[in-house]
Amino acid sequence: MRALRLIALLGLLAGTARAASLDPWASLTELRDALTSGAPVAAPFSQTYIPVGFSSGDTEHGVLVLGLPDCARWDYDEPFSKSFLLCGDVAWVWNPGETSGRRYQINPDEEQGLELLRLELDDLRKRFEATISNPQGVLEIRLDPIDQTGLIGEATLTVAAEGDRLESVAYLDREGNRTLFELGPLEAAPAGESFDPPPIQWLEN
């Protein structure tokens, strides 16, 4: 599922760029703390998927809602509207207006993309090496997998120079496909049942 391979670690980084530049793991710790300490947040996004061998790809838009450490939801806009919901070790995929959707079991050892936000920092340390840089006035945190047989090739978070707003995430999978995930400002998510799958028939994958 391409949407469940979206790269990830999305949200707000607390502190200054100077503090973050000293230690990428300290920055990721602050990020996780910020995202798991309050109410769910939402942000508009654009996602560009570039297949291996191509220099450009299709771009889709939608809204991301995060209720970490357990849940994340992606709702894509028309003309190809679809929704993805991940809570615990279960993922749901459906198209608005249809009477059935797909339900998947997620293996925690294979979590990637936005699912990585739900992992404890000790688990991330076991799976990735992290480096940090400050090119052209922005902050970049890069994750490289320790196990070269996994699904993630590399991931880079680009953060505003002041260190408090995530601008984009670039993700390379093992097949050589790239995803660029750009976020608008994170705000409090609207009240509602964002993390409840709709009452339709669920087909097990």
pLDDT tens column, 18-62 = 444 468 888 777 777 777 777 888 999 999 999 999 999 999 999
| pLDDT number for residue 10 | 41
| pLDDT number for residue 63 | 94
Q: How far is CA 167 from CA 133, 134, 179, 204, in A?
A: 15, 14, 14, 35
| pLDDT number for residue 12 | 37
* Average pLDDT of span 130-145: 85
Do 45 and 182 form a contact (C-beta atoms < 8 A)?
yes
Q: Three-state secondary structure along 12-64?
A: CCCCCHHHHHHCHHHHHHHHHHHHHCCCCEEEEEEEEEECCCCCCCEEEEEEE
- Tell me the pLDDT band of 1, cut-offs 50, 70 and 90: low
Does residue 200 surpass a pLDDT of 70?
Answer: yes
| pLDDT number for residue 13 | 36
| pLDDT number for residue 178 | 92
Fold adopted by 2-189: outer membrane lipoprotein receptor (LolB), chain A (2.50.20)
Does residue 119 surpass a pLDDT of 90?
Answer: no
| pLDDT number for residue 85 | 94
Do 41 and 63 form a contact (C-beta atoms < 8 A)?
no
pLDDT tens column, 60-117 = 999 999 888 888 898 999 988 999 999 988 999 999 999 999 999 987 666 555 566 6
Q: What is the pTM of this model?
A: 0.79
| pLDDT number for residue 177 | 93
- The whole-angstrom separation of Cα 1 and Cα 117 is 18
- The whole-angstrom separation of Cα 89 and Cα 107 is 7
| pLDDT number for residue 110 | 61
Do 173 and 151 form a contact (C-beta atoms < 8 A)?
yes
pLDDT tens column, 150-189 = 777 888 877 776 655 678 888 888 889 998 889 898 888 8
